[in-house]
A and B are shown apart, each in its own frame.
Chain A
Amino acid sequence: AQTVTQSQPEMSVQEAETVTLSCTYDTSESDYYLFWYKQPPSRQMILVIRQEAYKQQNATENRFSVNFQKAAKSFSLKISDSQLGDAAMYFCAYRRAPHDKIIFGKGTRLHILP
């Protein structure tokens, strides 16, 4: 069974600094999809970034980028120039294929220090 592990329950970063959130996953599939979702205090689940496993190039979305290491089954999220609005719970997530469920990690709570 596929699993997603986030080993950092909480992290803190100074405003304007860079922080990296870790995620590892386990799967026997060769094609799949990985996501980072953000859940701010409003509890809304917001898509931050996605990565298709068949793409070697790491995805980027403005200040957010990933380091996708397929062989190591690692999918970390880097947030550059951290802002107060980045404070949230971040979930790493895996999806085997369209029409399949998402499997979530337990989340990393990110604090931004002013």
Chain B
Amino acid sequence: DSGVTQTPKHLITATGQRVTLRCSPRSGDLSVYWYQQSLDQGLQFLIHYYNGEERAKGNILERFSAQQFPDLHSELNLSSLELGDSALYFCASSVDYQGGSGNTQYFGPGTRLTVL
């Protein structure tokens, strides 16, 4: 158990809909990262939040957005869903300091999104 929690585990929805994925980082971790794992694209970085502020964006579609709340949990919002958005979405947390385990990202169990 990494200490990172994600809900829900599975999500089935229809095209055009909007969903919200939730992530709670490990206790003490200020950074949350979101990744998408699909069969054709592999594991891709989406976005990074640190202590409530957006720090970096990767290959995140404009239909997707995220935020990190004062209690450090994060939500990834996916809207106008398309078939191609079906994937496993991971969040990872890290303390993000130099050296030792501070540079390691610990992953949650993921949310499997199926768009029909």
Contacts and interface: CB of A to CB of B under 8 A. Distances in A.
Interface of A: 33, 35, 37, 42-47, 50, 52, 91, 95, 97-104, 106-107
Interface of B: 2, 31, 33, 35, 42-43, 45, 48, 50, 55-56, 58, 88, 90, 92, 94, 96-99, 101-107, 109-110, 112
Contacts of A91: 43
Nearest to A100: B56
Would you call the interface of chain B mostly helix, strand, loop, or mixed? strand
A42 B2 CA distance: 14
Contact of B104 (A35, A42, A44): A35
A98 B96 contact: yes
A48 B51 CA distance: 27
A46 B56 CA distance: 24
Given A44-B109, A91-B43, A98 B88 contact: no
Contacts of B110: 43-45
A43 B103 contact: no
Contacts of A43: 88, 109-110, 112
Nearest to B41: A106
23 contacts: A33-B103, A33-B104, A43-B109, A43-B112, A44-B109, A44-B110, A45-B107, A45-B110, A47-B104, A50-B101, A52-B99, A91-B43, A97-B98, A98-B94, A98-B97, A99-B31, A99-B55, A99-B96, A100-B56, A101-B58, A102-B92, A106-B42, A107-B42
Nearest to A31: B98
B60 to A, nearest CB: 11
A99 B102 contact: no
Given A98-B94, A103-B45, 19 more contacts: A33-B103, A37-B107, A43-B109, A43-B112, A45-B90, A46-B107, A47-B104, A50-B101, A91-B43, A98-B97, A98-B102, A99-B48, A99-B50, A99-B56, A100-B56, A102-B43, A102-B92, A104-B42, A107-B42
A47 B1 CA distance: 11
A57 to B, nearest CB: 14
